[in-house]
């Protein structure tokens, strides 16, 4: 193992979920990178809705927290050591982490759909620990270099931007597209920016909250609307991306898509919802989900470095590692958009 000249400690601080609503600080061994991995000193970690869900509910669908778990999967940092098979020149490099480890040999991986790998190990998804700690390891090719123009905070947020990029690809957005996005939370706002970067001529964001609509207008939306007061179904957009998970938003969004258009479901909502089948059939709509991403980090870094996407301005609160629990509860504060744990 090759390391920097800075000594790496034997132990590190980690913020650990030990039960529903229970976060404790622990001292844990610093992990050692395997032959194909790098060791990264964490710089910043974004708080995702899934982190909050695990913290408050102890599960997301079939993923159940039944043992102590380190949350956090939106990560940036600096490589401080490399495994034996990794070029030692990468030591000292600033990186954004793609927080997943596919098997690389199954049918999904070989088909280029490694996000659907049945053997996937994903940060902060039971039983795999995440990054609310001082050091993490990842396979070297999933530690993506970031240019100096991308801050540590933006580098951490390349993960939610990757969701927006993947949703935009699935929505088949091209220059001139008209897109409707439901939900002006962090993912909705980031997806709006991604859609504009993909060339969408019109990006309509719907959200019942006036303050969130105002944020969407700052970050990519060409128009916003209040779905409780304005009709959505007659928009005839090329693509609808749901980032809300709200059943009424999904149904009205499907009805807002023109014939031959695409519906992309990103938000997590009810397990089952009624669908407007006659609309789907008569318009030959394509309906698809989004489950993580594949090969999005290089583009994400380019979009931020080139100024086409602004992530730094989305950060509304920062907390120290010792205050991770406060960070997980910060979504209750009015006006919060994106919260980071900064080391």
Is the domain of 218 the same as that of 263? yes
For residue 113, being part of any structural domain is answered with yes
Enter the pTM of the model. Answer: 0.95
Report the candidate in 341, 290, 302, 292 with the shortest Cα–Cα distance to residue 320: 341
Is the residue at 306 inside a domain? no
* pLDDT tier at 270, thresholds 50, 70, 90: confident
Domain residues for 34? 2-157+311-342
Chain-wide mean pLDDT for the chain?
96
CATH at 245 = 3.40.50.720
pLDDT value of position 133: 98
CB 239 within 8 A of CB 261: yes
What pLDDT, on the 0 to 100 scale, is given for residue 4?
A: 56
Q: Domain check: are 151 and 201 in the same one?
A: no
Whether the pLDDT of residue 2 is over 80: the answer is no
Q: How many CA atoms lie within 13 A of 317 on its CB side?
A: 18
Selection from 43, 42, 9, 62 nearest residue 129 by Cα? 42
pLDDT tens readout for residues 286-329: 999 999 999 999 999 999 999 999 999 999 999 999 999 999 99
- Per the DSSP assignment, residues forming a β-bridge with 293 are none
Kindly state whether residues 169 and 152 are assigned to the same domain. no
Reported residue count of the chain is 343
How many structural domains are present in the chain? 2
299 is a domain residue: no
Q: Do 133 and 61 fall into the same domain? A: yes
- The pLDDT of residue 269: 86
In this structure, the answer to whether residues 169 and 149 fall within a common structural domain is no
Given a contact cutoff of 8 angstroms between Cβ atoms, the answer to whether 11 and 27 are in contact is yes
pLDDT confidence bin for 6, thresholds 50/70/90: low
- CB proximity list for 256: less than 8 A, separation 6 or greater: 180, 232, 233, 234, 235, 236, 237, 240
Task: Pick from 159-168, 208-217, 229-238 the range whose average pLDDT is largest.
Answer: 159-168
pLDDT tens-digit readout, 154-180: 999 999 999 999 999 999 999 999 999
Domain co-membership, 141 together with 193? no
DSSP code, position 38: E
């Amino acid at each position: 193992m090759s390391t920097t000249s800075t000594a790496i400690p034997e132990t590190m601080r980690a913020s650990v979920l030990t039960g529903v609503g229970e976060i404790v600080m622990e001292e844990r061994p610093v992990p050692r990178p395997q032959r194909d991995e790098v060791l990264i000193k964490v710089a910043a970690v974004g708080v995702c809705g899934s982190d909050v869900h695990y913290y408050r509910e102890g599960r997301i669908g079939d993923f159940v927290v039944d043992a102590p778990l380190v949350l956090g999967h939106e990560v940036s940092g600096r490589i401080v050591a490399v495994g034996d098979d990794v070029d030692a020149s990468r030591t000292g490099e600033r990186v954004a982490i793609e927080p997943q480890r596919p098997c690389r040999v199954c049918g999904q991986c070989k088909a280029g759909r490694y996000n659907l790998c049945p053997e996937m190990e994903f940060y902060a998804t039971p039983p795999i620990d995440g990054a609310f700690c001082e050091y993490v390891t990842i396979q070297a090719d999933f530690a993506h270099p970031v240019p100096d123009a991308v801050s540590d905070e933006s580098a951490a947020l390349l993960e939610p931007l990757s969701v927006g990029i993947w949703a935009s690809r699935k929505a088949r957005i091209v220059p001139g597209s008209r897109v409707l996005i439901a939900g002006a939370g962090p993912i909705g706002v980031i997806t709006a920016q991604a859609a504009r970067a993909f060339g969408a001529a019109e990006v309509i964001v719907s959200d019942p909250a006036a303050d969130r609509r105002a944020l969407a207008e700052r970050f990519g939306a060409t128009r916003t609307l209040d779905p409780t007061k304005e009709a959505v179904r007659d928009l005839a957009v090329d693509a609808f991306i749901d980032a809300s998970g709200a059943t009424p938003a999904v149904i009205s969004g499907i009805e807002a898509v023109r014939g031959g258009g695409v519906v992309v479901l990103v938000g997590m909502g009810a397990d089952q919802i009624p669908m407007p089948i006659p609309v789907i059939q008569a318009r030959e709509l394509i309906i698809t989900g989004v489950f993580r991403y594949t090969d999005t980090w290089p583009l994400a870094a380019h979009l931020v470095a080139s100024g086409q996407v602004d992530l730094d301005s989305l950060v509304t609160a920062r907390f120290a590692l010792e205050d991770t629990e406060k960070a997980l509860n910060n979504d209750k504060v009015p006006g919060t958009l994106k919260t980071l744990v900064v080391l």
